[in-house]
């Protein structure tokens, strides 16, 4: 028995409708980043080194030829340690001459004492003249003054001999020598530089433009160039008022909040400058979607694993990043690749651990 024509037509229509059902849209893999808030703006990173806050340059207090340097650069010294010595011949001769003068004047003073005593005895017995007694007493006083002068000359000559030895007056580290053995130096000429290792600071050179904008809100992070995990914070202690004529930079000295053991004198450091700013977010430039005069990004719904556009306020654009002041929240995930080929509500696959 044949089917009626209307039943055959209905069967064909149902078959056609079933074949026109759309297949589910495939899930698209995307790259994404998690939004991290920024409350500090990076102003730059500069190389520097660790130096002693207190340094002193020493020299001999007398002139002469350096006979010997006892220590090298880098040596640690204690108070009273000998650093260098001069040829002491001249000072020794001066001391011998002064001691000879002292012996002569002492003999004259003894004779003046005896003469004054004799004249006084004669005068007391009534056989001596007042004039002779006055002369003897005056000679005694004059000789006494000469004796004190001779003693002072001997003391000064001994000091001059002692000054031919250069000693450290505090615990320090030798950082530089300005004179060599055999060299003739004058009194006060720089010979050696000592640095106190107990108080250290960071020293960097800043461009003039940035140096003129420094304020109390700036934060300095000081890290070792060899191991950035060794770091500390610092504050500005001193900024040189005059720029270097060659480099056009101004030297800044920073007081360290703490001094890691690895921060030896001369350690190479990296100093990062940052300043407090209104909260903002930095994203890769590839995350930006610009169309119809709007600036947008694709935000991922991590529960539904779908994407949707979000209007954002763009503060700054660089060669590889954008700075947003609003539109995204900390912790949200933003698509960073293929933003022009996504559709609202589209299913996506992403790495939840990607930062």
pLDDT for 318 equals 84
Per-block mean pLDDT, blocks of 10 residues, the chain (355 long): 51 51 69 79 84 93 94 92 95 94 94 91 85 90 94 95 94 93 94 92 90 74 93 90 89 92 92 76 87 87 88 86 85 85 85 63
| CATH number assigned to the domain covering 43-53+199-278 | 2.40.30.170
Q: Which fold has domain 28-37+280-349?
A: 2.40.420
How far apart CA 275 and CA 217 sit, in angstroms, is 6
Q: What pLDDT sits at residue 41?
A: 63
Alpha-carbon distance of 79 to 93, in angstroms, equals: 29
Q: Answer whether CATH 1.10.287.470 is correct for domain 89-162.
A: yes
> Taking a C-beta distance cutoff of 8 angstroms, is the pair 119, 128 a contact?
yes
Domain boundaries, the chain: 28-37+280-349, 43-53+199-278, 59-86+164-195, 89-162
- What architecture is the 59-86+164-195 domain classified under in CATH? Beta Barrel (2.40)
Return the SS3 of 262: coil
Instruction: Give the 3-state secondary structure percentages of the chain, helix then strand then coil, rounded to 5.
Output: 25, 40, 35
Q: Provide the pLDDT for residue 19.
A: 47
Residue 339: the pLDDT is: 81
pTM of the model as a whole: 0.59
């Amino acid at each position: 028995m044949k089917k009626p024509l209307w039943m055959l037509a209905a069967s064909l229509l149902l078959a056609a409708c079933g074949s026109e059902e759309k297949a589910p849209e495939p899930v698209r893999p995307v790259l994404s980043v998690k939004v991290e808030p920024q409350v500090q703006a990076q102003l730059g990173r500069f190389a520097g080194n660790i130096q002693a806050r207190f340094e002193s340059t020493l020299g001999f207090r007398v002139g002469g030829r350096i006979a010997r340097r006892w220590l090298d650069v880098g040596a640690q010294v204690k108070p009273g340690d000998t650093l260098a010595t001069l040829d002491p011949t001249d000072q020794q001769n001066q001391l011998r001459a002064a001691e000879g003068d002292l012996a002569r004047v002492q003999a004259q003073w003894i004779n003046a004492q005896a003469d004054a005593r004799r004249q006084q005895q004669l005068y007391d017995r009534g056989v001596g003249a007042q004039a002779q007694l006055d002369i003897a007493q005056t000679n005694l006083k004059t000789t006494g003054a000469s004796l004190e002068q001779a003693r002072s000359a001997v003391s000064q000559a001994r000091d001059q001999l002692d000054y031919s030895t250069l000693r450290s007056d505090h615990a320090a580290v030798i950082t530089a020598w300005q004179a060599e053995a055999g060299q003739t130096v004058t009194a006060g000429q720089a010979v050696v530089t000592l640095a106190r290792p107990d108080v250290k600071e960071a020293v960097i050179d800043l461009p003039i433009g940035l140096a003129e904008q420094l304020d109390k809100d700036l934060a300095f992070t000081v890290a070792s160039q060899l191991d950035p995990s060794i770091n500390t914070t610092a504050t500005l202690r001193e900024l040189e008022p005059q720029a270097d004529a060659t480099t056009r930079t101004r030297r800044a000295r920073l007081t360290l909040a703490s001094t890691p053991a690895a921060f030896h004198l001369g350690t190479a450091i990296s100093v990062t400058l940052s300043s407090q700013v209104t909260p903002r977010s930095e994203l890769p430039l590839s995350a930006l979607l610009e169309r119809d005069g709007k600036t947008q990004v694709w935000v991922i719904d991590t529960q539904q694993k779908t994407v949707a556009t979000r209007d954002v306020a763009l503060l700054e654009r660089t060669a590889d990043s954008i700075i947003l002041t609003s539109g995204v929240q900390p912790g949200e995930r933003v698509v960073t690749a293929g933003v022009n080929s996504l559709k609202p509500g589209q299913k996506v696959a992403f790495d939840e651990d990607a930062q």
